[in-house]
Amino acid sequence: MSDKKIDKFVIPKGNKGLRKLNTLYLMNVSINDGSSLLQSLGSFPSLKTLYLASNNFIEPTTSGGYLHNYTNLEELSLDGSSLHISLLHSIAAFTSLQTLSMESCQVNGTLSFQDLPNFKNLTILYMDGTDLSITFPQMIGLMTSLEQLSLSSCGLQKTLSHQG
């Protein structure tokens, strides 16, 4: 369904279709309300891999809002997307999430250490080209399962230093 214009993407409540869907590609989808898209995708309980690159998610999410049904999601790609800072908090609730790719994202709002959730189960994090104005070493210290990290061209404004 990539590279399409979608006016509205809504899964009716109680829908039993696509219950076994485990991978979905929705890259570069022209949709007016990315938040309704995220809410609807929560209706797929078997979803493990979700590619949402080059989309618009600039509307704020609320805690317990759109993204609470992604209990099996292991891989999420938001590369090249515009997103609101509150989306990061919602993503942190995905306890099965192991891979997060946010390369070249435009984040609406200022990223600070307090804004970033504790992604303690992530093993892979790609944030190349995403502007990070945060105290990054503190955030990385909370990611106890991290095995791969890519931060090239992130414009880190703080000096990465060793604190004893």
Domains identified in the chain and CATH numbers: 5-9+18-150 (3.80.10.10)
**CA 22 from centroid of its chain's CA atoms:** 17
- Asked whether residue 37 carries a pLDDT value surpassing 70, the answer given is yes
* 37 vs 103, more confident: 103
Nearest Cα residue to 48 out of 31, 26, 23: 23
Q: Mean of the pLDDT values across residues 127-134?
A: 73
Residue written as token pair 């891979």: 99
Does residue 99 contact residue 123 with C-beta atoms inside 8 Å?
Answer: yes
**Residue carrying the six token digits 């515009």:** 82
Q: By C-alpha distance, which of 30, 38, 31 is closest to 11?
A: 38
Looking at per-residue pLDDT, the higher value among 127 and 12 belongs to 127
* Arithmetic mean of pLDDT, 103-121: 70
Identify the band that residue 138 occupies on the pLDDT scale cut at 50, 70 and 90.
low
Q: Please, which pLDDT band fits residue 127 given cuts at 50, 70 and 90?
A: confident
